[in-house]
Structure 1
Amino acid sequence: MNRTARLYALVEELRATAPRPLTVAALAARFEVSTRTVQRDLQALMETGVPVRSAPGRGGGWTIDPQMTLPPIHFTADEASALAVALAAADSSAPYADAARTAAQKIAASMTDPASAAAQELAARIVTLPSPSDPTVRSAVEQALTTRTVLRLSYVDAAGRQTNRVVEPAGLLAADGRWYLIAWCRTRQAGRGFRLDRITAAAPTTEQAQPHDLTELLRDSAAAGAAPPTTLAPLTRFA
């Protein structure tokens, strides 16, 4: 994670737990950097006007102005339970899993009773089996999708053959509990799906990718009938 991304993530981490303070040691462990680096980052945020502040004494630490946190959200108990289940599905191998974790923190901090109690009760009864995943690969795929840049990757197919590819990401496909990167493959000069757990290495580039229609890339494939989840309709309505 570069410094710019870390500064943004640091603000989001403080927002997610506000008004509860976090220690420098806890933040250093979260972002896998030294305490000195965290202190420099916090100082930089203060100098740019971000309302972070330290709380001295026992139980103190760093926090952010509560006005930068979400106001209470009035979910029903069923809606809160649905969110708990959906966020539980975003395990460590899913795209944007780290962002899902901080989103869960924000939602939990902003919910009011009885929705909060319902979500907590259900969350205590959800377990998952950990799946092996390479966070470096996942991060590279996320970056390429977000910035719409070309991605270089090494891929092992179902027969165990490994190839190196240069691809232009178009989107993500979820099927049967697996995640696939759908992209235009420059090597094959065709649309291809790459199962994320079969990507052994990935590196984003600074080259802008050409726009590709996800539906067109899936045409004539086993996933030709894939459609956007209805639960995401409110997010895409104004896109």
Structure 2
Amino acid sequence: MKRAERLHALSEMLRRSGTRGSSAERLAREFGVSVRTVKRDLDALERGGAPIWSRPGPGGGYGLAVGASLPPVNLSAAQAVALMAAVSAAPDAPYADLAAAGIQKVLDVLDPRTRARADELAGRVWVNTAPSASRAIRSALEEAMAEQRVVRIRYTSSNGATTTRDVEPVVFASTNGQWCLVGWCRLRDAMRWFTVSRVERAYVTKMACGGHTIHEIGEPPEGARPVHGRGE
């Protein structure tokens, strides 16, 4: 049994064991591996996001939170490298750090042979990207968007004017090679586009956004489309 298949089977066995859990020794016997290997597999599942609990002592063991399971990971080496390349080439994209962490979780549960091939292939893909906005600024903008809270920014426009504004984030948009925050500007009482690299400071307030929608922005730039998980 390949490691990826074993990890999936292991997560399903833990799920079926419910609140009773299973000891590492029992899991090792079930899959014909050593206790050490089972514990390494459990660590990999946990790093991959599986909500594994452990209970020490006699009668203890390992279990998976009710309702949780881990789908099988069957990426090829090229698919894994494609994900790494996409994130590495766009470090200033919204939630890029979270994407990198997610890819690492996927890599952690690949079978050793595929992981080794992916690592070798990744060394053949080089990227050179321009410096992006500070991590603190991007984190604040990302948090404000995800939580739908007003973000206070210090912003310098293309004509050199610097202002402090409260903005209700609506959309992140990439246009002409730059990322923009599009949102309702409370200073101008209108929808505005803010180039992220021109934001000098950003602070997430406790104020909730007022419910402005994407439809208020108007037509997106030519060729622009939402990101999604479906291939086209």
**Which structure 2 segments of 5+ residues have no match?**
1-41, 56-61
**Deviations for 1:29-49, whole angstroms, at most 9, x for unmatched residues?**
xxxxxxxxxxxxxxxxxxxx9
Write the distance in 1 (CA, Å) between the matches of 2:208 and 2:46. 40
Is the counterpart of residue 206 in structure 1 residue 206 in structure 2?
A: yes
**What does 1:75-224 correspond to in 2, within 5 Å?**
75-91=75-91, 93-112=92-111, 115-124=114-123, 125-129=125-129, 131-219=131-219, 223=221
TM-score by length of 1: 0.62
RMSD: 3.4
CA 1:140–1:127: 2 relative to 1, 3 Å: same
Q: Secondary structure at the match of 1:18?
A: helix
CA 1:179–1:18: 2 relative to 1, 3 Å: farther
The structural deviation recorded for 1:132 is 4.5
Q: Secondary structure at the match of 1:94?
A: coil
The structural deviation recorded for 1:108 is 0.8
CA 1:19–1:202: 2 relative to 1, 3 Å: same
**Which structure 1 segments of 5+ residues have no match?**
1-16, 23-48, 54-64
Write the distance in 1 (CA, Å) between the matches of 2:79 and 2:208. 39
**Deviations for 1:180-231, whole angstroms, at most 9, x for unmatched residues?**
1110111122211111111001111111102222243143x7x2663214xx
Q: Secondary structure at the match of 2:83?
A: helix
Preserved CA contact (<8 Å) 2:155 2:198:
yes
For residue 227 of structure 1, what is the aligned residue in structure 2?
225
**Deviations for 1:98-151, whole angstroms, at most 9, x for unmatched residues?**
212211210111223664344323322323345143222111111111110111
Tell me how many residue pairs correspond in the alignment.
178
* Counterpart code for 1:193: W
The structural deviation recorded for 1:152 is 0.8
**Deviations for 1:54-107, whole angstroms, at most 9, x for unmatched residues?**
xxxxxxxxxxx796895651113442232122221341x332232122112101
**What does 1:25-64 correspond to in 2, within 5 Å?**
51=53
Q: Percent identity?
A: 32
* Counterpart code for 2:158: A
Write the distance in 2 (CA, Å) between the matches of 1:75 and 1:206. 41
Preserved CA contact (<8 Å) 1:170 1:182:
yes
Write the distance in 2 (CA, Å) between the matches of 1:66 and 1:199. 46
For residue 18 of structure 1, what is the aligned residue in structure 2?
43
Write the distance in 1 (CA, Å) between the matches of 2:118 and 2:76. 10
For residue 25 of structure 2, what is the aligned residue in structure 1?
none
**Deviations for 1:141-186, whole angstroms, at most 9, x for unmatched residues?**
1111111011111111112211111111002101233211110111
Preserved CA contact (<8 Å) 1:137 1:199:
yes
CA 1:146–1:173: 2 relative to 1, 3 Å: same
Preserved CA contact (<8 Å) 1:150 1:166:
yes
Q: Secondary structure at the match of 2:217?
A: helix
